[in-house]
Structure 1
Amino acid sequence: MKKNLTLKSTILLFLIGIIVFGTNTICAQQSMKYGMLTFNKAVNISGKQRMLSQKMAKSYLYLVENPSDTKAKRDLLTSKIIFEKQNGIINQNSGYKVTKDRIAKVDVIWAEFKKLIETTPNYDNAKKIIELNTDLLKATNDVVSAVIVESKGANQSDANLLEDDGAGESDLELKKMINMAGRQRMLSQRLALYYYANQTTLKTKNSEQMLNNVFNELDGAITMLLISNFNNSQIDDKLGVAMSKWEQVKNNKDKLMNQGFKPAEMYKISNELTKAFNAVTGLYEKVKI
């Protein structure tokens, strides 16, 4: 009788162990997700919001002096639609107050920014966009940072999210690399934005310095991407494409700083650079650790 009880107890404990282990495994798997997205995807998407903020500003400034350009008009409209849609996706899939609070801040700035870009392009509103775009960029960048922090402590309480929970160093480094590559997309658009802001009709005392700062940051980050431990043959190939596009600008810095590119040429270069770095970012997102 005792043997039967002991056997039943052992089996019961074994089954309980399996259930607990399975539950913990499910929880661990769930903690690796950003709602319906992977955290890598969430970092990529939230990073695109930075790029779109700059693309909209760039398109508006370009349209001030090129009001009949149908591509620029389409870029401005589609970027606005995608920005709003993606902001909703990021918000809906986050379960953390830090991230949601930062998205709410984006929404406040976006309401003002949206009113400006929906006007018929004019110099007065272009100047306001030049002043406001950096605030929107900073707010969207803060969301990216919050998503990365959230990935470090997805199974913690909101109060502990900003603490280092010992998440895998490689996984965190990969997300930082996705962020860096994604930031290059934004800088590609911001370069053209401040190229237009540096023209005589819109120029301020800071325009030239801002353009130079964007140039240096974009160029410096390429070096960091080239030496990344996460690179594979596909990433190397796409980085090569991005670098070839960048050389068109880097080898002509005087031309860049002195309005030597035709407006339509700079518009095209910025979009091609963005496309190239977007391909790189997408490949980093898919890297398996």
Structure 2
Amino acid sequence: MKNSFTFKFMILFLSIGIGISSTNTMCAQQNMKYGMLTFNKAVNISGKQRMLSQKMAKSYLYLVENPSDAKAKRDLLTSKIIFEKQNGIIRQNSGYKLTKDRLTKVDKIWIEFKKLIESTPNYDNAKKIIDLNTDLLKATNDVVSAVIVESKGANKSDDNLLEDESLGESDLELKKMINMAGRQRMLSQRLALYYFANQTTLKTKNSESMLGNVFNEIDGAITMLLISNFNNEKIDEKLGVAMTKWENVKNNKEKLMNQGFKPSEMYQISNDLTKAFNAVTGLYEKVKI
């Protein structure tokens, strides 16, 4: 009888243990998701919001002196629509106070920014956009950081998110790489934004230094992308495309800093660079750890 009881107890104990293990595994799998998205996708999408903030500002500044450019008008309109839509997607898929609080800050700045970009392009509002765009950029960048923090401890309370170490080191490094590559898209648009802000009619005491800072940041980040441990044949190929486009700018830095490019040429350069870095970012998003 004693042996029979012991055997039944062991079976019950093992069954409970297996049940707990299965539940933990299911929770872990669920916690790898950002709502209906993967965390890698969420980092990519939230990063695109930074780029769109700069693309809208760039398009508006360009339209001040090129009001009949249909493509720039279309870019401004579609960027505004996509920005609002993606902000909703990020909010709907987050269950964390940290991320939602930062999205609320984006929304507050967006109200004023949206009014400016919806106005008929003029110099007064262009100058206000030059002043405000960095605030919107910082707010959207803070959302990206919050999403990465959220991925570090998706099964923890908000209070413990910043201290949580549950995400594997490699997985966290990958998200940082997605973030870095995605930031290059934003910088590609910001480069043209401050190229236009550096023209005589809009120039401030900071315009030239801002343009130079963006140039240096793009160039420095390319080196970091090239030595990433996550690179594969496809990523190397797309990085090569992005580097070729960047070298055309880098080799003409003096032209860049002295308004040597035609406005339409600079506008297209920024879009081509953004497209190239977007392809790289998309490939990092798909890397499996």
TM-score range, shorter chain: over 0.9
- Counterpart in the other structure of 1:47: 47
Note the residue ranges of structure 1 that are not aligned, 5 or more in a row.
none
Distance apart, 1:31 and its partner CA: 1.4
Task: Give the distance between the partners of 1:14 and 1:160, measured in 2 at CA.
Answer: 32
- Per-residue displacement from partner, 1:58-86 (whole Å, max 9, x unpaired)? 00000111111111111000000000011
Task: Give the distance between the partners of 1:152 and 1:19, measured in 2 at CA.
Answer: 25
The number of aligned residues is 289
Tell me which amino acid in the other structure corresponds to 2:182.
G
Q: State how 1:1-289 maps to structure 2 within 5 Å.
A: 1-289=1-289
Task: Give the distance between the partners of 1:9 and 1:109, measured in 2 at CA.
Answer: 62
Task: Give the distance between the partners of 1:281 and 1:165, measured in 2 at CA.
Answer: 25
Task: Give the distance between the partners of 1:203 and 1:127, measured in 2 at CA.
Answer: 9
Task: Give the distance between the partners of 2:228 and 2:104, measured in 1 at CA.
Answer: 34
Task: Give the distance between the partners of 1:5 and 1:75, measured in 2 at CA.
Answer: 74
Task: Give the distance between the partners of 1:276 and 1:106, measured in 2 at CA.
Answer: 27
Which deviates more from structure 2 when the two are superposed, residues 10-19 or residues 222-231? 10-19
- Per-residue displacement from partner, 1:178-219 (whole Å, max 9, x unpaired)? 000000000000000000000001000100000000000001
User: Secondary structure in 1 aligned to 2:239?
Assistant: helix
Task: Give the distance between the partners of 2:39 and 2:121, measured in 1 at CA.
Answer: 37
Distance apart, 1:117 and its partner CA: 0.3
Distance apart, 1:32 and its partner CA: 1.1
Distance apart, 1:165 and its partner CA: 2.0
User: Secondary structure in 2 aligned to 1:231?
Assistant: coil
Tell me which amino acid in the other structure corresponds to 2:183.
R
TM-score, scaled to structure 1: 0.98
User: Secondary structure in 1 aligned to 2:48?
Assistant: helix
Distance apart, 1:11 and its partner CA: 2.6
Task: Give the distance between the partners of 1:173 and 1:4, measured in 2 at CA.
Answer: 52
CA RMSD in angstroms comes to 1.0
Task: Give the distance between the partners of 1:224 and 1:16, measured in 2 at CA.
Answer: 48
Tell me which amino acid in the other structure corresponds to 2:131.
E
Task: Give the distance between the partners of 2:173 and 2:109, measured in 1 at CA.
Answer: 30
Distance apart, 1:18 and its partner CA: 2.0
Distance apart, 1:10 and its partner CA: 2.8
Note the residue ranges of structure 2 that are not aligned, 5 or more in a row.
none
Distance apart, 1:152 and its partner CA: 0.8
User: Secondary structure in 2 aligned to 1:113?
Assistant: helix
